[in-house]
Chain A
Amino acid sequence: MSIEVPVPAAAPGRWARFLDGDVWHSFKNSPMAITAAVIACICVFCAVFANWVAPHNPFDLATLDLSDARLPPAWMDEGKRTFLLGTDDQGRDILSALMFGARISLLVGLASVLVSLLVGVSLGLLSGFVGGKVDAFIMRICDVMLSFPSILIALLIDGVGRAMFPNAHDTLAFGVLIVAISLTGWVQYARTVRGSTLVERNKEYVQAARVIGVSPYRIMVRHVLPNVLGPVLVLATIQVAAAIITEATLSFLGVGVPPTSPSLGTLIRIGNDFLFSGEWWITIFPGAMLVLIALSVNLLGDWLRDALNPRLR
């Protein structure tokens, strides 16, 4: 008589498990999420591969022709087929400038989200896990930060950065900008992570780990951290959109990225000067691109929040 030992089926790969999981199913059933994802992917693709995708290189002075300046989009009477969305005052192709600009916007946005994620998650984890005075101190800072609008804090940090390094190199200007944006965003992560850490801290697995003598640092990083990252993921998605808009706002105000590498906000700022002479396309297309990116990322974030929320299933 033989005992049937249930043979565990070969563990499905990560990819297969993902395709079978709730998240993918909810994605497939949400036309909104699919549309947003497609738009976001196209934007990111154009931005990343701007060098190859863009019809012209707006930074290559040799290819610019001033007789092509201020051409309207191709479908208007004076437009040229080669410049689909028209040109600016120096004969640069708007479409190509958009792609290169989106690259810088995305780069700054992603970098600042990453930095604020790092700062916020570590402070929140520390605050929730250690508690006591450390917790009170960090939370008071959060309260103060939250009572001021983020754009104001970003402007202030940016201004201080400018005052400290008056003759800053372009790379440094990027650094200051990223720090300014990320220092306004970390509070959200810190509060979220602190909240979930307070819940996780009292669970049995943490107590068990304590009993067998795992060091607090290890418990915090290896055991608690992975369990509090879910909401952070959602937050980070939405924060990417917020960071891109903050960057655009700062650049529009003239205190953002250096003018040598124009982001979408800089393009809007430049185009704004031509609004009154009737060349609306120089500023409207970068604006539309900005809204498209921000809106699609926001919609993806909303969907992700619903998909990861077990109560809504």
Chain B
Amino acid sequence: MLVFILRRLAQAVIVMLAVAFIAFMLFQYVGDPVSNLLGQDATQEQRQQLRRDLGLDDSFIVQFSHFVANAVEGEFGLSLRQGRKVSSLIVERFPATLELSVTAGVIALLMGIPLGVYSALRRGSFGSQLMMTLSLLGVSLPTFLIGILLILLFAVTLKVLPSFGRGDVVMLGRWSTGFLTLDGWKHLILPGFTLAVFQLALIMRLVRAEMLEVLRADYIKFARARGLPNRAVYFGHALKNTLVPVITITGLQLGSLIAFSIITETVFQWPGMGLLFIQAVQFADIPVMAAYLCLIALIFVIINLGVDLLYFAVDPRLRIERPAGGH
């Protein structure tokens, strides 16, 4: 067991080092940091001096370890475009993205599971067919189009919901939250739903498939034979057993929610990390790109690791190679 955990940890560290290496290569070889900082008309001595100060003359290994040490402390230097520290930019933007992603995740779960259960139990009914068709559309429609359609419907035609920015936010220390004001909630509805649609469709189809699978199992037949009411069979036995894969998938998808928020944030001009990243890509702002890359990689690695360990805790079959007969 310890070996398994250690191996997964080692893998996670290797992935992070690889990502850090890519980020480091970006810094080193894409664009010249010296001319970025000094401008075109600096003298040769100034350049040499800065190269020495920045440690650019050190050996590759030294520079890389330096970079990793800084990255661990969250230090990625200055944004080329805004001239501010990348770390403070990200700290500023992170709450917006996290709130958006969590809202979308909650919407997807709260709507996806009931709809999935419904379309599994009423298979072939009109409502269920409609749900399946809509979910197919939800999976194949690109996110930005969904956002545009929602804006057109709710913000332009009906004029009931705002479509731009976060609205009023309250500062809790360094954390800005939109959860505490009515205006903030209103601003959250459209982007939250837009981001949720894909996951919602995914969860719905997954719950439906799992539910249909479970309903064919022997223990369901047995539960019916015992004369349990439908309610108990469906929700007490069937749904409980379908939720394990659903929860793992949702956990894994939390990372994609954060990543896909790039698109939603652009559509709704939501002031989060995604918008920051897109602007960085447009202006080739390497420090911001590198920092975002490392942060997202860290989130993904932690989520993957967490899900793996959770599996390990849930599924006894994974706890292998116990000495046989060692009672």
Q: Assess the B142–A159 pair: CB atoms within 8 A.
A: no
A183 interface hit (Cβ, 8 Å): no
Which of A13-21, A49-57, A116-124, A149-157 lies at the interface? A149-157
Q: How many residues of B contact A (CB 8 A)?
A: 39
A156 in contact with B289 (CB, 8 Å): yes
Tell whether, in the assembled complex, residue B145 and residue A253 are in contact, meaning their CB atoms are under 8 Å apart. no
Q: Are the C-beta atoms of A253 and B278 separated by less than 8 Å?
A: yes
Q: A158 at the A/B interface (Cβ < 8 Å)?
A: yes
Bound Cα distance from A110 to B153, whole angstroms:
33
Chain A residues whose CB sits within 8 angstroms of the CB of B301 once the complex forms? 147
Give the CA-CA distance A255 to B275 in the complex, in Å: 13
A280 near B262 with CB under 8 A, answer no
Q: Contacting chain A: which of B91-99, B237-245, B280-288?
A: B280-288
A226 contacts the other chain (CB 8 A): no
Taking a contact as CB atoms closer than 8 A, the residue among A148, A158, A159, A160 that contacts B259 in the complex is A148
Surface stretch bound by B, among A65-73, A198-206, A209-217, A291-299: A291-299
Residue of A159, A162, A275, A290 touching B145 (CB-CB under 8 A): A290
Chain B: minimal CB distance from A299 (Å): 9
Q: How far is the CA of A164 from the CA of B286 in the complex (A)?
A: 10
Which of A148, A155, A284, A291 contacts B152, CB < 8 Å?
A: A284
A10-B255 Cα distance, complex, nearest whole Å: 60
With an 8 A cutoff between CB atoms, is A8 at the interface? no
B286 near A152: Cβ-Cβ < 8 Å: no
A278 within 8 A of B: yes
- SS class, residues of chain B in contact with chain A: helix
In the complex, per-residue mask of A183-200: 1 if CB is within 8 Å of any chain B CB, else 0 = 000000000000000000
Residues of chain A within 8 A of B289, CB atoms compared: 156, 159-160, 163
Query: Does A166 count as interface, using CB distance less than 8 angstroms?
Result: yes
Interfacial chain B residues near A158, Cβ < 8 Å: 281
Contact, CB under 8 Å: B152 / A280: yes
Contact B284 A166 (CB under 8 A): yes
B157 to chain A, nearest CB (A): 9
Residue B176 at the A interface, CB < 8 A? no
User: Which positions 241-287 of chain A face chain B at CB distance < 8 Å?
Assistant: 241, 245, 248-249, 252-255, 268, 272, 275-276, 278, 280, 283-284, 287
* B64-121 with Cβ < 8 A to chain A: none
Q: Does B260 lie within 8 Å of A151, measured CB to CB?
A: yes
CB contact list, A8-46 vs B, under 8 A: none
Which residues of chain A are near B260, meaning CB under 8 Å? Answer: 149, 151
> With an 8 A cutoff between CB atoms, is B223 at the interface?
no
Taking a contact as CB atoms closer than 8 A, the residue among B31, B141, B255, B297 that contacts A163 in the complex is B31
Tell yes or no: A144 within 8 A of B by CB. Answer: yes
B26 at the interface (CB under 8 A from A): yes
Compute how far the CA of A291 lies from the CA of B145 in the bound complex, rounded to whole angstroms.
9
CA separation between A162 and B297, bound complex, in Å? 21
- Name the residue of chain A whose CB is nearest to the CB of B147: A272
A104 and B147 alpha carbons, distance in the complex (Å): 23
The distance in angstroms between the C-alpha atoms of A290 and B146, with both chains bound, is: 12
Decide if B262 touches A159 in the complex (CB within 8 Å): no
Contact call B300/A148, Cβ cutoff below 8 A: yes
Known: A156-B289, A249-B144. A144 touches B278 (CB 8 A): no
Q: Is the CB of A159 within 8 A of B152?
A: no
Q: What is the chain B residue whose CB lies nearest that of A250?
A: B281
Q: Which residue of A lies closest to B293 (CB)?
A: A156
Q: A147-B300, A249-B142 are in contact. Are A275 and B152 (CB under 8 A)?
A: yes
Contacts of A287 in B (CB 8 A): 145, 148-149
A248-B277 Cα distance, complex, nearest whole Å: 18
A272 to chain B, nearest CB (A): 6
Known pairs A155-B281, A254-B278, A291-B140; A149 contacts B259 (CB<8 A) = yes
Check B143–A249 contact: CB distance below 8 A.
yes
Query: What does the 1/0 interface line of A127-149 toward B look like (CB < 8 Å)?
Result: 00000000000000000100111
The minimal Cβ–Cβ distance linking B104 to chain A, given in whole angstroms, is 14
Question: Do residues A144 and B259 form an inter-chain contact, with CB atoms below 8 A?
Answer: no
Q: Which residues on the A side are within 8 Å of B277 (C-beta)? A: 155
28 A–B contacts, CB within 8 A, in A order: A144-B15, A147-B15, A147-B304, A148-B297, A149-B260, A151-B263, A152-B259, A155-B262, A155-B281, A159-B280, A159-B289, A160-B26, A163-B31, A163-B284, A166-B284, A249-B142, A252-B144, A252-B266, A253-B278, A268-B148, A272-B148, A275-B151, A276-B156, A278-B156, A280-B156, A291-B141, A291-B145, A294-B142
A-B complex: 6 closest residue pairs judged by Cβ atoms = A159-B281, A163-B284, A163-B30, A149-B259, A162-B284, A152-B259
Given contacts A253-B262, A275-B151, 18 further A-B contacts (CB under 8 A): A148-B296, A149-B260, A151-B260, A152-B259, A155-B277, A155-B278, A160-B26, A162-B284, A163-B26, A163-B284, A166-B284, A241-B140, A249-B142, A268-B144, A272-B148, A276-B155, A287-B148, A290-B142
B binding-site residues for A, Cβ under 8 Å: 15, 18, 26, 30-31, 140-145, 148-149, 151-152, 155-156, 255-256, 259-260, 262-263, 266-267, 277-278, 280-282, 284, 286, 289, 293, 296-297, 300-301, 304
